[in-house]
Amino acid sequence: MASTALPTLPEYLSPEILLNPEKRKFPEFDVVRLLHTVFEPTNGCRVCVLIDFEEPAEHIKDFKFLNEEGFPVQKNAHEYFYEALKNHAMEKLGMTGGELFAYRCTHGSNLDLSDEIWDTGGRQLSLNGDIYPNYDLILCISTWSATAPLTAKAKEFGFRGATLHGLNDVILNSGLAVDYGEVSRDAEKIRLVLTKADSMEIDFTLEDGRVLTATLGLDGQDAQKSHGLCLGKKPDIANLPAGEVYFVPTDANGQFPMKYDDGTLGVLDVKDRSIYHSTLIEGNQATIDAHNARLADDPMTGTLGELGFGTQVLPVSYADIQDEKVLGTCHLATGRDDHLGGDILPDMFKKHENATHDDILFAPHKTPNFNVSQVRMNRGGKQEILIENFRPSKFIMDALAG
């Protein structure tokens, strides 16, 4: 007789860990395991590491930054990737190269990189001429995300790689220590139950009791996943830590709240896929005025280019690159989405510095002033609840158990 036992969820998806993800136990970070899992095959690949500085020629020469104040991301890149590659990882993985280069900080998420780059001897080189054509794997560990520009360059030059911006100790010991085979499988399970969605509705409950609703049109498109695997020889860029399912909205209307970098809270009005106005809830009116002026000057900056859902159980890292991958959270993004298969291109913006891709994360630690009280998926005349009060619904948990 066939067994009728229900699938057992792994320990990291137990109710106790879901409610207290900081209790999840992770293996020690191992760059060999990470690169082997993400990039198999690695044998014969030439690899390099990119980092960024305000003045790259000054800080990269003779590794001067290692003896200077600050630069935590760059120092982590040096210790856990550059040094590890040189000391043992390249030999174990069958790779060559291992050089470290520095480019000029972009000051914006996913802005195109300038072509100038410097090696550790202080020599100026060209990304297009010396780096992209000559490396099979490029690891970009930077202050600002470079996923969009490197995705475009990977397709042009044929390399693979990963972007790991904002790398900190929590990310090293959790989001980069996980088994990316498991991450990929879980992301695919969720992707399969969300794909072909017609629309999503997100309810936000504010502290004063108001409920704002944003509706994202999706037109039955295939859901996509960021799952951390960049296998084979096909040009691609993995954004690490990974673990999300995402869509490129075709329409958006309604309202949603926004917490600005200075803590100011506003309500954003959305119509025809674009934010067109912000209204102060509390905080600094000048912050709201500056946003409204930017929207008026370059309306493309308000275009919604992504709707994403986290698929992993991870502790808070206070870096959005990891925290947007947490199961029960969701995020929107404004700006360019060409790296996601969308139609918002850098040359559509009035100024180069406006052509960013900026995530807006909704998570308990990031936006404690309002709650994602419910997320609903509409598909084929049926409606499913996906998230309630920052927790995955039974529909999502059943998918993970399948």
Give residue-wise pLDDT tens across range 14-70. 999 998 999 999 999 999 999 999 999 999 999 999 999 999 999 999 999 999 999
Asked if residue 307 lies in contact with residue 375, where contact means CB atoms within 8 angstroms, the answer is no
Measure CA 119 to chain center.
Answer: 27
pTM of the model: 0.93
Strand 211-217 to 199-206 pairing: antiparallel
For residues 37 and 367, what is the distance between their CA atoms, to the nearest angstrom? 34
Class of domain 31-167: alpha beta
- For the chain, which residues make up each domain, given as ranges? 31-167, 193-401
pLDDT tens digits, 313-351: 999 999 999 999 999 999 999 999 999 999 999 999 999
Here the tokens at position 285 are: 């009116």
Percent of the chain with pLDDT over 70: 98
Where do we find the tokens 């990119």? 50
For residues 179 and 33, what is the distance between their CA atoms, to the nearest angstrom? 9
First vs last C-alpha separation in the chain: 20
Asked if residue 214 lies in contact with residue 254, where contact means CB atoms within 8 angstroms, the answer is yes
Is 5's pLDDT higher than 50? no
At 5 the three-state DSSP class reads: coil
Asked if residue 93 lies in contact with residue 139, where contact means CB atoms within 8 angstroms, the answer is no
pLDDT tens digits, 166-192: 999 999 999 999 999 999 999 999 999
Q: According to the model, what pLDDT value does residue 329 have?
A: 97
- Going from the C-alpha of 134 to that of each of 103, 129, 142, 175, 239, the distances in angstroms are 17, 8, 20, 29, 21
Quick count: other Cβ atoms within 10 Å of Cβ 24?
A: 19
Asked if residue 122 lies in contact with residue 60, where contact means CB atoms within 8 angstroms, the answer is yes
Q: Which residues pair with 161 in a beta bridge?
A: 138, 237
Q: According to the model, what pLDDT value does residue 47 have?
A: 98
Is 290's pLDDT higher than 60? yes
Q: Which residues pair with 375 in a beta bridge?
A: 202, 387
For residues 39 and 174, what is the distance between their CA atoms, to the nearest angstrom? 19
pLDDT tens digits, 215-273: 999 999 999 999 999 999 899 999 999 999 999 999 999 999 999 999 999 999 999 99
Of the candidates 291, 380, 303, 383, the one whose C-alpha atom is nearest the C-alpha of residue 338 is 303
In 248-381, the DSSP E strands lie at 251-259, 265-271, 274-282, 304-310, 330-335, 357-362, 370-379
By CB atoms closer than 10 A (0-12, 13-18, 19+), residue 396 is buried
pLDDT tens digits, 6-19: 457 889 999 999 98
For residues 21 and 23, what is the distance between their CA atoms, to the nearest angstrom? 5
Is 103's pLDDT higher than 90? yes
pLDDT tens digits, 72-98: 999 999 999 999 999 999 999 999 999
Q: According to the model, what pLDDT value does residue 97 have?
A: 98
Asked if residue 139 lies in contact with residue 161, where contact means CB atoms within 8 angstroms, the answer is yes
The residue-averaged pLDDT of 135-157 equals 97
